[in-house]
Chain A
Amino acid sequence: MENTAYQIEYQPRTGSEAICEALLDEGVEHLFGYPGGAIMPFYDALPDYPLKHILVRHEQAAAHAADGYARASGRVGVCVATSGPGATNLVTGLATAQMDSVPVVAITGQVGRAAMGKDSFQETNVMGMTLPFTKHSFLVEDPDELYPTVRRAFAIARSGRPGPVLIDIPKDVQAAACESENGYRRLREVDPPVSGPALEAAATLLRKAKRPLILAGHGVTISGAERELMLLAEKTGAPVVTTLLGISAFPEDHPLYLGWPGMHGQASVNRAIDRSDLLFAIGMRFDDRITGDPRRFAPNAKIVHVDVDPSELGKVVKPTVGIAADAKAAMRSVLGYLKEVPDECFRDRAAWREELRRSQEPEKRREDAARGEYGPIRILDAIKAAAGEEVRLVTDVGQHQMWAAQFFKFTRRNSHITSGGLGTMGFALPAAMGVAFAYPGEPVWVVAGDGGFQMNLQELATIRDFGLDIKVAILNNGYLGMVRQWQEFFHNRRYSETPITGPDYETLAASYGLTGKTVRPGDDVEEAVRWAEEQEGCAILDFHIDPEANVYPMIPSGMSVNEMIEEDD
């Protein structure tokens, strides 16, 4: 048999190939994007690599899908767009990711180097444009720098406090040959050092408090610290409340779970914070929707604030003890300090928990009464019953978002996905695509308003193309409901430009090759939801709800718990 000598020849790679190799080396499987002139060399290289590209119908959706993918999976989401309008369309999605600390890498094409700075066709300064809401950004002008830059972008996006990173690449750099092999010195991603004395002080405060509350935020989920949160709560008997983004970091059927505070959080939780003598806040940033007037927030409490970002400490609320640390590392450390403390030391908290339980009774009664009526609570209950405990709920922004946060009982970790900080209408549908790609075969429901749903409904085509099994519930009140509610409360019911029309969603679904159903008062909600579950692929339920239903309670912006508007007011 003839021996064959194989000679491996070095094949010069293009910049685009270097990008693809870096993506593969980062373990990327999915990219959400939309091609265009200045990103064509990258798209020309893409089919040669085992990277699954999801062609969206608008670049904003690519950014939200990458965001949803990242939130659900804990991995870095990737989106791609061309220069000019492609890049500007990413902006809302990147700002959404920045506000909620989500790791996303955005790759944008740029006009060729010779054309830059000359107002060339589809040229924008995307780096300048996105400076305020990216964690970092790169303009890569040397093809040999592409591989290490992409790798570095991923490291930056996921390390410390995660966030979006943009890589802008001129077209000719994508097409140019690389002269060097891939070289990348892996960055050591280290957590900031955890301060021992501060954590010991935090543990002491937690031990001595009579009316403690643990306030858990998104940082707990990002850090994967749900178990530590549970251990800390159970060790100390301290009730747990969460931020909006912290919902599902702690199971809502746990006896120590209380709810979430803030502008539309439960009244009992707002009052609990008002009464507590220690707020152990972890992985959160005292958003103004939580605090209202920060001078009157938690007036009786000492505050322990743990956050991985040191610039958050003291930004809004001055903590008694501020600790710049990863949530998991910090809670482990505090648990270590409390290890030797006998459980009896925490027994006197039973009275505090009983007081809190009693304070919840009126709202539970109201909630139970509403359960049987046609409306948001019954719809959410029906979704939970039909889709099961495993469902991931992706909500848009507005009244429905608050109802879902209040009434959908989240028991699975990281099963509540929403745009909190930026409050981006149009987020839910594309973000749900990202969630569906992160967890194929697992149940995903979108709950949206009729306003927000129309902002990115073009993605129904993407959902159909990829056969994504996403169920959609539109809570259709014919208004921009939350704005209308503010107009009702604070602008003498002048409903200026908030009534909004939309398409016939059944027909819309059919036009995309999907199924849809209209559900009106008096119809069987549970049957409709079961019908949606039985459909193959995406199904849309258009629930016509009370046009003037309100979200209660409501703390007017900048006010405190004392000015809270409740349903009976």
Chain B
Amino acid sequence: MATCALSARFSGGMQALSRLLTMMQGKRMPVLNLCVGREAGPESGVMRATILLGCPPEMARRYVALLSALEDVEEVEVADSTVEVVLSSVDGDEWRDLASRSGVEAVECSGTVVASGEPGKVEAWLAALGDRVEDAVRLGPVARPEGGV
């Protein structure tokens, strides 16, 4: 399936997020994944959403126009590249070598393995770990800052 990731920068907190979600739902955008994060500290009103759409970029143009028209949205663009972030609970230590071989960055943080990389590579890493993955939460795909350029 052709996919297209959009990166939207917006302010206005929960109301703005509600409006964004309502627009996506109301216009029946083919949303495969949505990831929202803050751009600065907790007091910052600016948020970033990465919206993964199940359509090619040329079909996403209307969705870019619709989202751009929202008052709270400061910028929408097609994301050049995305990164998958996974928080996982993994048995053993083999994940380090597998991550290295898969081209995935992975570190342990308070017992949670945090891995990131190109979505396909992260999926391959998780598949290679197999049953050793007790639990995993995929946060992405997230648009890279500055579009990853």
Using a CB–CB distance below 8 Å, which chain A residues touch chain B? 127-128, 131-132, 135-137, 139, 156, 160-161, 309-311, 313-315, 324
Query: Can you report 12 A-B residue pairs in the complex whose CB atoms are below 8 A from each other?
Result: A127-B15, A131-B18, A131-B22, A132-B26, A136-B70, A136-B71, A137-B19, A139-B15, A310-B65, A311-B65, A311-B66, A314-B61
Nearest chain B CB to A101 CB, angstrom units: 12
A311-B62 in contact (CB<8A) = yes
B62-A314 in contact (CB<8A) = yes
The answer for the CA separation of A315 and B62 in the assembled complex, in Å, is 7
B69-A311 in contact (CB<8A) = yes
B65-A132 in contact (CB<8A) = no
By beta carbon, the residue of chain A nearest B66 is A311
B22-A132 in contact (CB<8A) = yes
B18-A128 in contact (CB<8A) = yes
By beta carbon, the residue of chain B nearest A136 is B71
The answer for the CA separation of A310 and B18 in the assembled complex, in Å, is 22
The answer for the CA separation of A309 and B66 in the assembled complex, in Å, is 9
Nearest chain B CB to A494 CB, angstrom units: 33
The answer for the CA separation of A418 and B7 in the assembled complex, in Å, is 39
Q: A128-B18, A314-B61 are in contact. Are A309 and B69 (CB under 8 A)?
A: yes
Interface bracket on B: 10 to 19
The answer for the CA separation of A313 and B61 in the assembled complex, in Å, is 10
By beta carbon, the residue of chain B nearest A133 is B26
Return chain A residues, CB-CB under 8 Å to B66.
311
Return chain B residues, CB-CB under 8 Å to A131.
18-19, 22
The answer for the CA separation of A310 and B63 in the assembled complex, in Å, is 10
Nearest chain A CB to B7 CB, angstrom units: 18
Nearest chain B CB to A319 CB, angstrom units: 13
Nearest chain A CB to B59 CB, angstrom units: 9
Return chain A residues, CB-CB under 8 Å to B70.
136
Top 8 A-B pairs ranked by shortest CB distance? Answer: A311-B65, A131-B22, A310-B65, A136-B71, A311-B66, A132-B26, A311-B62, A132-B22
The answer for the CA separation of A161 and B65 in the assembled complex, in Å, is 13
By beta carbon, the residue of chain B nearest A138 is B15
The answer for the CA separation of A137 and B12 in the assembled complex, in Å, is 11
Return chain B residues, CB-CB under 8 Å to A324.
65
Return chain A residues, CB-CB under 8 Å to B22.
131-132
Known: A132-B26, A137-B15, A314-B61. 16 other contacts (CB 8 A): A127-B15, A127-B18, A128-B18, A131-B19, A135-B71, A136-B19, A136-B70, A139-B15, A156-B71, A160-B69, A309-B65, A309-B69, A311-B62, A311-B69, A313-B62, A324-B65
The answer for the CA separation of A156 and B72 in the assembled complex, in Å, is 12
From A137, A309, A310, A315, residue with most partner B Cβ within 10 Å? A310
The answer for the CA separation of A310 and B62 in the assembled complex, in Å, is 7
Nearest chain B CB to A498 CB, angstrom units: 30
Which residues from 5 to 38 on chain B have a C-beta closer than 8 Å to any C-beta of chain A? Answer: 15, 18-19, 22, 26
Return chain B residues, CB-CB under 8 Å to A137.
15, 19
Return chain B residues, CB-CB under 8 Å to A136.
19, 70-71
The answer for the CA separation of A160 and B62 in the assembled complex, in Å, is 17
Nearest chain B CB to A254 CB, angstrom units: 34
Nearest chain A CB to B72 CB, angstrom units: 8
Return chain B residues, CB-CB under 8 Å to A315.
62
The answer for the CA separation of A302 and B61 in the assembled complex, in Å, is 21
By beta carbon, the residue of chain B nearest A130 is B22
Return chain B residues, CB-CB under 8 Å to A128.
18
The answer for the CA separation of A310 and B67 in the assembled complex, in Å, is 11
B69-105 to A contact mask, C-beta < 8 Å, 1/0: 1110000000000000000000000000000000000
By beta carbon, the residue of chain B nearest A132 is B26
Return chain A residues, CB-CB under 8 Å to B62.
311, 313-315
